[in-house]
Structure 1
Amino acid sequence: GRRVVKLSGIGCSSKSPAYFLGASHGFNAVHGRMPSVATGAMLANQALLAIGVSGDGDTGAIGIGQFVHLMRRNVPVIYIVENNGCYGLTKGQLSPTADYGSTLKNGVVNDLPAIDLCALAIELGASFVARSFSGDKRQLLSLLKAAISHRGTVMLDVLSPCVTFNDHDGSTKSYSYVKDHEEPLSEISFVPFFEDMSVDYEPGTTQAVPMHDGSKLYLKKLEQDYDPTDKVKALQVLHESARRGEFATGLIYVEPDKPDFLTLLNLVEEPLAELPAESVRPPRQALEEIMESLR
């Protein structure tokens, strides 16, 4: 637990870190500002496993600016969005991820297009983008295991019906609607690096995706020509499924070899937070030499 840091913003989703890994580090950030706190934590201690939990309002509305820069930098953070299409903490108003034409409990119709957080993350440069459904435990568990093994930004959009304000007829984020309109792209099997296991599938039907730590994610294709390493195809699948009123789920896009933000910064291997004072505080003579060189 000491090597894990849990982070969140504000909202129903942001209470989630209180329910797991009680002995780990935790930080409840200002509304929409979790990405900058996560970036700072990883810069200070790159040995941490950062798990951020956000919501469709915390990410898609007030926090979308910070979300953009976290994705484009490919900071090694597991970024989970609990997406219910409404502001559950303030009585169920429409959020930016609510689908066009969907209705609120009181009958109000959404006249605005939805922000697709997965498509946005892919465009911005996130190296692992997936979508799942809180009612699909098997798929979600495999994706979470793979996320822990990935080095870079993991964007995991979890369709999470709000049973209080957005679980009615007319909602496209209700439990029954998502269950009936989920389109898994593949059957997912995660094999950790310490297990020697061969997956017996027909040739050409299974794709093995290597993870940073040597683990592998095996994808048994349900879509004949789907390749999660193809960015254009990933965006096309998201667009077409949304047009049909369906939700494409599973591993949507992955770029396992993309360098993460900390690698690009060329940081020393030892976490900055653990460096001794003499390594980070130059002696007076060194400072005087620097000042002299600038005269």
Structure 2
Amino acid sequence: MSYIKPTFRHPRLPTNRLGYTVADYDGSISTLCAGCGHDSISAAIRNACFESAIPPHRIAKISGIGCSSKMPTYFLGKSHGFNSVHGRMPSVATGASLGNRNLTYIGVSGDGDTASIGMGQFVHLIRRNVNMTYIVANNGCYGLTKGQDSATADLGSVAKGGAVNPFDGIDLGSLAVLQGASFVARSFSGDKAQLEPLIRAAMAHKGFAFIDVVSPCVTFNNHNGSTKSYSETRDHLDAMPLDFVPMREEIRTQYDEGTTQNVTLHDGSVIHLHKADSSYKTDDRNGAMAAVQKAKDEGRILTGLLYLDPDTQDLNQNISLATRPLNELGKDELCPGSKVLDSINEGLR
């Protein structure tokens, strides 16, 4: 099986203002489960970069470990990429951003990669206001290790094995607002009309931009009563050495501002999405916290741009870094000699 997309494209594909077609922002064929919400996020990132007319070679995509962290393979195949260690993507993104401030940085992570092993790094990434777009594909489970509850799983949710989650889930959107992130949004992987503009806005933002995307897991949202569940399938197969992943349709939705949409997931459970209306104040941090909590108390997930600080300064500005990217500085500029070093040391006494 080949994972490389055919190079042939329709000769009349539309182009953006730089002359690129959307095919120039493609990656390899996805190997994720059919119908996975993560593929919808990959498509949204691809389309957002195309519509924003960002040259593919001026984009750097960075990820950690997990189903979500495989996603950068499936978009922007002509961009820079770095698949880092589990939970350590923020460190790589910080170093890369300081090394070359002229690239557009897109970090892709998951609820396990961010809310568990990577939580400490995630918080410091917010605190430093690194200039990047950070997208979490949030499905509430560990898809690569058979679907255990992640730290974002809701209280009372039932896992694939039937266990009821006894813990409150970590709300990454609220955490980002609380910790001082300058751009915070939430969306649903199937709401293309909302997600793509949010990604474009995040990439245009100067500073740390966080988008928490609810992304259903088609494989581990099965319930025990389903005739197509893993347990039911395994009971009726002889010596099946590989897991069978049932084919599912990608979940899509579209609804107006200020309204609530009920979305039925593959396991029959329902989530209630509420899209913020035009009267919502995005520059009120306390109001954003209250709105997210109010929606949670009502059993809804508030989506849209939750908070924006238009006057923020990113890490490069806060530490008065050279205006030219560090990777463009020569030896004489990086190593000016012992006299300059002595004068710096004297100034610190």
Normalising by structure 2, we get a TM-score of 0.69
1:245 is the counterpart of 2:299: yes
Equivalent runs, 1:1-295 vs 2, <5 Å: 1-166=56-221, 168=223, 175=265, 180-186=271-277, 221=278, 225-284=279-338, 286=340
Change beyond 3 A, Cα 1:6–1:282: same
Deviations 1:165-190 (A, max 9, x none): 025599x997367875010003xxxx
Change beyond 3 A, Cα 1:168–1:255: farther
Alpha carbons 1:84, 1:166 under 8 Å: kept = no
Alpha carbons 1:57, 1:96 under 8 Å: kept = yes
Change beyond 3 A, Cα 1:276–1:113: same
Alpha carbons 1:178, 1:247 under 8 Å: kept = no
Alpha carbons 2:132, 2:203 under 8 Å: kept = no
Work out the CA distance in 2 between the residues paired with 1:246 and 1:236.
Answer: 13
Work out the CA distance in 2 between the residues paired with 1:291 and 1:72.
Answer: 28
Secondary structure of the residue aligned to 1:126 is coil
Letter in 2 for 1:6: K
Change beyond 3 A, Cα 1:141–1:178: farther
Alpha carbons 1:73, 1:125 under 8 Å: kept = no
- Which ranges of 4 or more aligned residues in structure 1 deviate by more than 2 Å? 166-170, 172-180, 283-295
Deviations 1:119-168 (A, max 9, x none): 00011111000000011011001101111111111110010000000255
Work out the CA distance in 1 between the residues paired with 2:346 and 2:197.
Answer: 57
Work out the CA distance in 2 between the residues paired with 1:294 and 1:79.
Answer: 36
Between Structure 1 and Structure 2, which shows a larger proportion of strand residues? 1
Work out the CA distance in 1 between the residues paired with 2:301 and 2:287.
Answer: 15
Q: Shift in Å at residue 294 of structure 1? A: 9.7
Work out the CA distance in 2 between the residues paired with 1:266 and 1:289.
Answer: 18
Work out the CA distance in 1 between the residues paired with 2:348 and 2:197.
Answer: 55
Work out the CA distance in 2 between the residues paired with 1:174 and 1:159.
Answer: 13
Letter in 1 for 2:306: I
Q: Which residues of structure 1 form unaligned runs of 5+?
A: 187-220
Work out the CA distance in 1 between the residues paired with 2:283 and 2:194.
Answer: 19
1:206 aligned partner: none
Work out the CA distance in 2 between the residues paired with 1:69 and 1:291.
Answer: 28
Alpha carbons 1:162, 1:174 under 8 Å: kept = no
Change beyond 3 A, Cα 1:123–1:277: same
Secondary structure of the residue aligned to 2:181 is coil
Alpha carbons 2:162, 2:224 under 8 Å: kept = no
Q: CA RMSD in A?
A: 2.4
Q: Tell me the matched-pair count.
A: 257
Q: Shift in Å at residue 19 of structure 1? A: 1.0
Residue identity over aligned pairs, in percent, reads: 54
Alpha carbons 1:228, 1:254 under 8 Å: kept = yes
Letter in 2 for 1:137: K
Q: Shift in Å at residue 272 of structure 1? A: 0.7
Alpha carbons 1:81, 1:158 under 8 Å: kept = yes
Change beyond 3 A, Cα 1:110–1:124: same
Letter in 2 for 1:125: G
1:195 aligned partner: none
Secondary structure of the residue aligned to 1:105 is coil
Alpha carbons 2:111, 2:150 under 8 Å: kept = yes
Letter in 2 for 1:183: H
Letter in 2 for 1:175: L
Change beyond 3 A, Cα 1:260–1:173: farther
